[in-house]
Amino acid sequence: MESYQLLELSEWIDGKVIINNDQSIRYLSIDSRTIADAANALFIAIRGERNDGHHFIAKLYELGVRNFMVDHTFLYFHKCKEANFIIVDNCVEGLQSLARAKRLKSKCDVVAITGSNGKTVVKEWLAQMVGSSRRLVRSPKSYNSQVGVPLSVWNLTEQSQLGVFEAGISEPNEMSKLESIIQPNIGIITNIGSAHRENFESQSQKLKEKIKLFKGCSTIIYCADDALIDDEINKTYPLINKVTWGTSDNAQIKVSTKSVDDRWSFSLTYKGEEYLFDSSYTDAASKENLLNTISCLFVLGYSAEYIQSNLAKVVPVAMRMELKEGINNCILVNDSYNSDISSLSLSLDFLSQQSKGTNSSKTLILSDIYQSGLTDEEICSRINELLLKKGVSKLYAVGEALSRNATCFQMNARFYNSTDVLLSNVTQNDFNNEAILIKGSRSFEFEKITAALEQKHHETRLEINLNALVDNLNFYRSKLHKNTKVLAMVKAFSYGSGSFEIANVLEHQKIDYLGVAFVDEGVELRKAGISLPIIVMNPEEKSFSTMLHYNLEPELYSIKVVKSFVAALQSEAITEYPVHIKIDTGMNRLGFNNEDVWLLNALLKEYSFLKVQSVFSHLSGSDYEAFDDFSMHQFNLFDALVAKIEKTINRKVDKHILNSAGILRFPNHQYDMVRIGIGMYGIGPIESHKLSNVIKFRSYISQIRKVPKGQTIGYNRQGKLDYDSDIAIVPVGYADGLDRHLGNGKGAMLVNAQLAPIVGNICMDMCMLDVTGLDANEGQEVEIFGPNIRVEEIAKSLDTIPYEVFTGISRRVNRVYYYE
């Protein structure tokens, strides 16, 4: 691996430096949680909307990191006496400049891919097809942002023979920067969907912006059938060579389909020659991705024969990493994304993050890695180095290359020639309290291993998209003033979606507080390693000492609770403890009202060890316009009561009253903090189209049977059939949280992109769907609610609210978390 002295790097980018002890740098890192090789890393203190890397420097210094890029706001150089600093105006730009300079040292072909969909797939397929014919560097995962692109380009070296990078933008003026970093000589635009964010005025503005990526290219590749793209590129770049594909006459690579059934047979006519191809992909998106990939291979000089004989290598690209509950208290991270060393490194980081707070040791199940341009031995010694750094204590290595190089590995390692050999030699009892990463090339069929280690309940599950959750959180945050704090309510198992996993994401998003309903919920979070302040909304007297022990902060809502909490503090001789005062302004549930505030004040005066952190109230109708007058009344009453309390204790406290709906509807009453709950899950009274779907409740068809007309389905002979029907059995019932009132045609599920009504009564563990004419198959996925069947609709038909539907999903349903 190449390394550079910090002084040299600072010269590349014209940064100021403070060098105390110059060191060689191999890695760049922007994430304080995942620095592995502290001595050789340069930590770049990126200031994000929420996280500021500068805040982590002191901690990283303690962990042995010695090289930092900071901006002028950093003042504490004296606290890091042995560290070296590059000081720049803006660290994102500093990172970009570093990558730009590194790019210039590499002379190889560089392909850049942009477009609305398919970037990652085309990039991965190119890599799969190029195989070991060239030393290739590509973006890990979909690192295509202002930060992701420079981190990817940094990996180009003088030995690289091909670079393939994605470029994505979300607002105007971003592409020129990415262009100047990647400096591609070959460009691909996949397509221009309408899906993207609102930051562009029009489709054509977005397109104009995207194709800025091709400014310095010698060849641009795209689909000639897309008139918008074709026009714009010809207009903007009349002199650049274009290689276009499509069915229209002006396409240079003429595509014609010979047949499609199980496979797609097609011919491409290029430079006067016709070549036949055949692929197992038959859907439109995959065809488009294949044609972009093949066109690029032609441009790179690969022969039609090479492409034909390697086309079968193209395997689906899994975009997600799945987190599952494993047997014997293990957690499993299943990543079949691709197999190279940089993605292995990312997956191990994800594993660390997810196992934080548990005492599980780290285990890796790994297949041979096919990395172009390195010998098996080089690959193995790099893997060994990485595993040592990331603290992997047990390795199960599958494949001949790994087995041949067994001596490279310095941890507890076992070697198997194939997946089947592994499966017949290990048992579930070999795994206990471990965080296990399962990472294999597709041909190794590691899904068999996952299946063997997965804790099986049944196949009905709740999928939680953590990226979407963060997007929603940030959408709500975009409505807040800069200093408004955020408390996230994670009560009731985080609205049914899982406590620790959600709290862990929120902690990393740097929210200020968590709120739970009961002490037990808070204890569970503390045991899992969550260190954010936590407010308990319903503190019970019998658990006060547990609360103190776990540093949980009570909501005090009545004189009685104040008095008994005072007693608990006194008995443990605690001299100061944070508390939160709940005021009732109209809910008539918990809280002090106008009449008893004076008594409260007397107690606060007497027991000054009650440190009032915040005073809050709750709106009773924040989502309905009809109650706006009442909400105003609540705000006014709140102001008056808070003033009395602040006067008594003679200082300001944090005030908060808004829940999710309130944040959107009363942004002028955000006070010092807001309490977000259901909004994180994509439910909002207004602007709901700007929120993303987070939760998908799904099951599958376990069986399909033909039932003749006139028969009935299920208990009490309710579902009477008017026609010969195909009936699908789905293993989800009311014990899973599927409300029984949805039976008998009231509810439906999504099968094969179509609605299939529930027939008959819903049973405890299963239900039946009418899939007549839907081309449904056994084993097929069924969506109960999610992106297509909105939970709001289900709630409406049940005459309830999404909150009840979410929290009604039983704990026996497996929760699966993923990042896109």
Residues 519-548 as x/- pattern, contact with ligand PLP by CB under 6 A: ------------------x-----------
The DSSP annotation for 604-634 comes to HHH-TTEEEEEEE---SSTT-GGGHHHHHHH
Q: Could you give the 3-state DSSP secondary structure of residue 768? A: strand
| Residue nearer to ligand PLP on the CB measure, 457 or 479 | 479
Residues with catalytic annotation?
491, 715
Cβ atoms within 10 Å, residue 765: 15
Cβ atoms within 10 Å, residue 282: 12
Q: Please name which of 647, 661, 654 lies closest in space to residue 619, comparing C-alpha atoms.
A: 661
State the nearest-atom distance from the C-beta of 226 to ligand PLP, in Å.
Answer: 43
| Residue nearer to ligand PLP on the CB measure, 148 or 679 | 679
Torsion 277-283-288-292 (CA) sign: negative
Bridge partners of 486, per DSSP, are: 674
Tokens for 348, please give them: 């191990």
State the nearest-atom distance from the C-beta of 661 to ligand PLP, in Å.
Answer: 6
Spatial CB neighbours of 368, under 8 Å, sequence gap ≥ 6: 339, 398, 399, 400, 401, 402, 441, 444
| Residue nearer to ligand PLP on the CB measure, 5 or 800 | 800
Should residue 142 be labelled a site residue for ligand PLP when binding is judged by CB under 6 A?
no
Cβ atoms within 10 Å, residue 159: 11
State the nearest-atom distance from the C-beta of 635 to ligand PLP, in Å.
Answer: 15
State the nearest-atom distance from the C-beta of 614 to ligand PLP, in Å.
Answer: 12
Backbone angles phi, psi at 37, to 5 degrees: -90, 80
| Residue nearer to ligand PLP on the CB measure, 209 or 654 | 654
- How distant, in Å, are the alpha carbons of 421, 601, 646, 767 from that of 566? 63, 14, 20, 53
| Residue nearer to ligand PLP on the CB measure, 357 or 808 | 808
d(CA 306, CA 311): 8
Q: Considering only 305-313, 395-403, 478-486, 657-665, which stretch makes contact with ligand PLP by CB under 6 A?
A: 657-665
Nearest residue to ligand PLP by CB is 677
CB 608 within 8 A of CB 650: no
Stretch (H or E) spanning 269: strand 264-270
- How distant, in Å, are the alpha carbons of 29, 65, 452, 585, 723 from that of 421? 38, 42, 14, 67, 51
Q: Please name which of 246, 116, 130 lies closest in space to residue 193, comparing C-alpha atoms.
A: 116
CB 749 within 8 A of CB 768: no
Should residue 496 be labelled a site residue for ligand PLP when binding is judged by CB under 6 A?
no
**Planar angle of CA 108, 113, 118, nearest 5 degrees:** 140
Q: Considering only 1-9, 166-174, 676-684, 741-749, which stretch makes contact with ligand PLP by CB under 6 A?
A: 676-684
The DSSP annotation for 294-312 comes to HHHHHHTT--HHHHHHHGG
Q: Considering only 251-259, 373-381, 460-468, 672-680, which stretch makes contact with ligand PLP by CB under 6 A?
A: 672-680
Should residue 618 be labelled a site residue for ligand PLP when binding is judged by CB under 6 A?
yes
Backbone angles phi, psi at 768, to 5 degrees: -125, 140
d(CA 80, CA 678): 43
State the nearest-atom distance from the C-beta of 543 to ligand PLP, in Å.
Answer: 18
Total number of residues binding ligand PLP (CB under 6 A)?
Answer: 12
Should residue 177 be labelled a site residue for ligand PLP when binding is judged by CB under 6 A?
no
Should residue 674 be labelled a site residue for ligand PLP when binding is judged by CB under 6 A?
no
| Residue nearer to ligand PLP on the CB measure, 491 or 698 | 491
| Residue nearer to ligand PLP on the CB measure, 166 or 555 | 555
Should residue 678 be labelled a site residue for ligand PLP when binding is judged by CB under 6 A?
yes
Tokens for 168, please give them: 């994505």
The DSSP annotation for 559-584 comes to HHHHHHHHHHHHHTT-S-EEEEEEB-
| Residue nearer to ligand PLP on the CB measure, 54 or 582 | 582
- How distant, in Å, are the alpha carbons of 70, 85, 179 from that of 5? 17, 12, 27
The one-letter amino acid at 642? V
Single out the residue of 677, 719, 786, 802 in contact with ligand PLP (rule: CB under 6 A): 677
Q: Considering only 389-397, 399-407, 546-554, 677-685, which stretch makes contact with ligand PLP by CB under 6 A?
A: 677-685
Single out the residue of 489, 502, 695, 795 in contact with ligand PLP (rule: CB under 6 A): 489
Burial of 12-36, coded b for 16+ CB within 10 Å and e otherwise, reads bbebeeeeeeebebebbbbebebbb
State the nearest-atom distance from the C-beta of 515 to ligand PLP, in Å.
Answer: 7
Binders of ligand PLP among residues 776 to 795 (CB under 6 A) are: none
Q: Name residue, tokens 């309903």.
A: 517
Single out the residue of 188, 552, 676, 750 in contact with ligand PLP (rule: CB under 6 A): 676
399 Cα distance to chain centroid? 30
| Residue nearer to ligand PLP on the CB measure, 461 or 618 | 618
State the nearest-atom distance from the C-beta of 545 to ligand PLP, in Å.
Answer: 24
Q: Please name which of 359, 390, 677, 332 lies closest in space to residue 528, comparing C-alpha atoms.
A: 359
Single out the residue of 326, 399, 679, 719 in contact with ligand PLP (rule: CB under 6 A): 679
CB 426 within 8 A of CB 416: no
- DSSP-derived letter for residue 152 is H
Should residue 659 be labelled a site residue for ligand PLP when binding is judged by CB under 6 A?
yes
State the nearest-atom distance from the C-beta of 680 to ligand PLP, in Å.
Answer: 8
State the nearest-atom distance from the C-beta of 111 to ligand PLP, in Å.
Answer: 45
| Residue nearer to ligand PLP on the CB measure, 472 or 725 | 472
Tokens for 504, please give them: 């862990």
SS3 content of the chain, % helix, strand, coil (to 5): 40, 25, 40
Compute and round to an integer the Cα radius of gyration of the chain: 29
Burial of 245-257, coded b for 16+ CB within 10 Å and e otherwise, reads bbeeeebbbbbee
Single out the residue of 419, 660, 699, 761 in contact with ligand PLP (rule: CB under 6 A): 660
| Residue nearer to ligand PLP on the CB measure, 493 or 734 | 493
Should residue 675 be labelled a site residue for ligand PLP when binding is judged by CB under 6 A?
yes
Should residue 84 be labelled a site residue for ligand PLP when binding is judged by CB under 6 A?
no
The footprint of ligand PLP (CB under 6 A) covers 489, 491, 537, 618, 659-661, 675-679
